[in-house]
Amino acid sequence: MTVLKLPRWVGQRVFDDPGSAARALADAVAADLAAAIEAGRPASLVVSGGRSPVPFFEALAARTLPWRAVSVTLADERWVDPASADSNEALVRAHLLRGPATAARWVALKGPEATARDGLEGAAKRVLALSRPFDVTVLGMGEDGHVASLFPGATGLERALDPAASPLLAAIDPPAAPHPRISLTLAALLSSRRIVVLISGDRKRAVIERAAAGGDPHDLPIAAVLAQTRVPVEVVWSAGA
Task: Report in angstroms the alpha-carbon separations of 40 from 7, 106, 196.
Answer: 34, 20, 23
Domain carrying residue 65: 23-238
Q: How many domains does the chain have?
A: 1
Determine, yes or no, domain membership for 4.
no
Determine, yes or no, domain membership for 39.
yes
**CATH code of the domain in which 223 resides:** 3.40.50.1360
Determine, yes or no, domain membership for 181.
yes
Q: Could you list the mean pLDDT of each consecutive 10-residue stretch along the chain, which spans 241 residues? A: 90 96 98 96 95 95 96 97 95 96 97 96 95 96 96 92 90 88 97 97 96 94 96 95 61
Query: 24, 15 in Cβ contact below 8 A?
Result: yes
Torsion on CA atoms 10, 16, 21, 22, rounded to nearest 10: 150
Determine, yes or no, domain membership for 10.
no
Q: DSSP secondary structure string, the chain?
A: -------TTEEEEEESSHHHHHHHHHHHHHHHHHHHHHTTS-EEEEE--SSTTHHHHHHHHTS---GGGEEEEESEEESS-TTSTT-HHHHHHHHTS-GGGGGSEE--S--SSSSTTTTHHHHHHHHHTS-SSBSEEEE---TT--BTTB-TT-TTHHHHT-TT---SEEEE--TTSSS-EEEE-HHHHTSBS-EEEEEESHHHHHHHHHHHTT--TTT-THHHHHH--SS-EEEEEES--
Determine, yes or no, domain membership for 13.
no
pTM score of the predicted model: 0.96
Handedness of CA 58, 1, 32, 210 (dihedral sign): negative
Determine, yes or no, domain membership for 18.
no
Determine, yes or no, domain membership for 148.
yes
Determine, yes or no, domain membership for 234.
yes
